[in-house]
Structure 1
Amino acid sequence: MIITLTANPSLDHTVELPGVVERGEVLRALSSREQPGGKGVNVSRALAAAGLRTIAVLPGEPGDPMIVALRAQGIDVLSVSTGQPVRRNITLTEPDGTTTKINEPGPLLTDDDASRLVEATARAAASADWIVIAGSLPPGLSPDFYARVVRAARAVAGGGRPLVAVDSSGEPLAALIAAFAASGERLDLIKPNGAELSELTGAAAGDAIEADPALAASVAERLVGTHASPGPVVGVLVTLGSRGAVLVESGDAWFARAPKIVARSTVGAGDSSLAGYLIARTAGLEPAARLAQAVAHGAAAAALPGSDVPALADTDAAAIDVVRLPSTSHLDRLGDRAPLGDRATAGP
């Protein structure tokens, strides 16, 4: 079973436009739809579409439209009451796949809300194989919240379980990495994009990372470390947009090129990529095959409207070309940057 925690879920309203966004003009939509959203929620939706058992943990009232919609899709939900509505996000999509998002900040959560959310997640994760911690933090939660969640979950489950995958950014991700680097513990997987990996490490610009899979791999190696000196992360899945993705695990690195698609919406594509990786990992596949399924899932999601997630039958991992990358470090070409520990401690 895979547990997902979405601390700042949303009800996503997606509007499909016939042309480009023109500021100040009246725009007529081709279609619109609402879907329950948030990174962890999207991962749970994609996992459930592949037949895997998952529970989505999130703050919200049982009768909130977002939670009602999620349950209507057959997703098991463990909600923590906060007395406040789930935020609503607006997404505008253009014919070429360009996506514009307007995200509300989310409700202000109290210390009591945070404690109950940690307890609920730990309780749900007691018998789980994986816990996925994903998305931004709503107002009121401190940057160390995710570290609290992971430690509480592992304290309940014991034996280094559950395995932990993280898809976040900014200060919450930096604080989590710093906490694990200081303790000598390791997260099992993080899934940054190029900009998020740049922000986390300070090693290279985000657009340079996205354009160069070898550079992406060498930057990710800073987090994984070596057998003699392991870093705070076991594996890094770096999504590179329309280029594909890179996976670094145990001193090895692979690159998978994304297939050619007609993109309709990129909302949730990265979340589907993470779900694809977990689907393949749960099936016992090797790292290269996990990467292929991740890229296949992300591409299939981008070809769908709104924040729809693909079924396993919508993906074709066998058509994804995966190549092994040199494991030699490219850090000498990155310039004189602050060490990762300093960056992680100080925050991005």
Structure 2
Amino acid sequence: MAAPTTPGTGSSIVTITMNPALDVTTDVDLVVHTDKMRCSPARYDPGGGGINVAAIAHGLGASVSAVFPAGGPIGERVAALVADAGVLVHQVAIAGSTRESLTVNERSTGRQYRFVLPGPTLSADEQSDCLALLRSAAAGADFIVASGSLPPGVPPDFYQRVADICSESGARLVLDTSGAGLHHITSGVFLLKPSVRELRECVGRALLSESDQLDAAHELMARDCAEVVVVSLGGDGALLATADADYRFPAVPVPISSGVGAGDSMVAGITVGLSRGWPLDEAVRLGIAAGAAMLMTPGTMPCTRDNIEGLFAVAPKPVDVAAVTF
């Protein structure tokens, strides 16, 4: 396959999560309004895009650290859970309290309800502290992963500032974000991983076909927003757009338990593959397997290395989209 390769030493990945959360997951027989609903005992996991990526990357054997702001008792609990998972913690203390997110699984129907709070407002000094800590952690790192939403108070060009730090340090930036954080990227991203919805919102038009989606990906590349783009297609797999060729990756069919964290798991798999020096197509295939493994996992529980590697072994090879021209 002609997909380009990425040099890597197999060493450190650093993630940054600007809006971490304590993910609370519980089950209930039926979700109804007004009445009290008696829930099962809750499960607590550290959450937020980059933190999720770090946990899965660590599980795959990568050397990984996580930069994030955290405040209050909830923030301390998130930091402790991240450390307990074996990830090196770089915590910025903030005045506000870290948010909680609630996932409720309805046993009678199999439906899942997710309640996501906005998070604390970060001051300018707290934002600067996060960037300073990232700059320090990025020294010697192969990849920086910036993932997740931006909390109140953080300007929409924040991820461009992260990209600038990566350019200074020589680390390659993998970015997974949406909305204003994506709109304000102008340079410095190695790999961008939008969903079709995020890509559609970014270019401002309907993307009804595979050709439309690849056109939009190449439009971002032509703007120098990213060197390569991986478009997540959910249950249909993914597309990889590069300067030389484009590839379609079929999904790995699995029984779905929960969709929470599947995109973050995909990013983790891709980044770990790249850090091992794998070709892009193999790294994306590992990402597809990691995302599928997360779909099989209940609630916010991390998927396992055995599940990821088992699915990677049977994941279909990508198809060269030779008919698409640009």
TM-score w.r.t. the length of structure 2 is: 0.88
Cα distance in 2 for residues equivalent to 1:23 and 1:329: 52
Change (3 A) 1:287 1:149: closer
Q: Deviations over 1:179-237 (max 9, x none)?
A: 32xxxxx41011111110101112325xx3xxx44443232122223xxxx73211111
Which residue, 3, 10, 26 being the options, matches 2:14?
Answer: 3
Q: How many residues align?
A: 309
Higher mean displacement: 86-95 or 289-298 = 86-95
Which residue, 60, 63, 67 being the options, matches 1:53?
Answer: 63
Cα distance in 2 for residues equivalent to 1:151 and 1:284: 23
**What's the counterpart of residue 324 of structure 1?**
320
Contact 1:253 1:327 in 2 (8 A): no
Q: Deviations over 1:286-314 (max 9, x none)?
A: 22212211111001001101122223221
Matched, 1:75 2:87: yes
Q: Which runs of 5+ in 2 are unaligned?
A: 1-11
Q: Which runs of 5+ in 1 are unaligned?
A: 181-185, 331-348
The 5-angstrom pairing of residues 25-64 of structure 1 reads 25-29=35-39, 32-61=42-71, 64=76
Change (3 A) 1:31 1:164: same
Q: Deviations over 1:61-89 (max 9, x none)?
A: 49611111111111111001113321101
Which residue, 183, 187, 190 being the options, matches 2:189?
Answer: 187
Change (3 A) 1:283 1:324: same
Identical aligned residues as a percent? 30
**What's the counterpart of residue 172 of structure 1?**
181
The one-letter amino acid paired with 2:60 is A
Cα distance in 1 for residues equivalent to 2:24 and 2:242: 36
Change (3 A) 1:79 1:192: same
Cα distance in 2 for residues equivalent to 1:145 and 1:201: 20
**What's the counterpart of residue 284 of structure 2?**
291
Change (3 A) 1:24 1:195: farther
Following TM superposition, by how much is the alpha carbon of 1:126 offset from its aligned partner in structure 2, in angstroms? 1.1
Cα distance in 1 for residues equivalent to 2:35 and 2:235: 30
Cα distance in 1 for residues equivalent to 2:256 and 2:182: 29
Q: Deviations over 1:135-156 (max 9, x none)?
A: 111111111112122213433x
Change (3 A) 1:71 1:141: same
Calculate the aligned-residue CA RMSD, in Å.
2.1
Change (3 A) 1:245 1:24: farther
**What's the counterpart of residue 217 of structure 1?**
214
Following TM superposition, by how much is the alpha carbon of 1:284 offset from its aligned partner in structure 2, in angstroms? 2.2
Change (3 A) 1:221 1:122: same
Cα distance in 1 for residues equivalent to 2:48 and 2:110: 20
Change (3 A) 1:239 1:17: farther
Matched, 1:93 2:105: yes
Change (3 A) 1:59 1:253: same
Contact 1:47 1:54 in 2 (8 A): yes
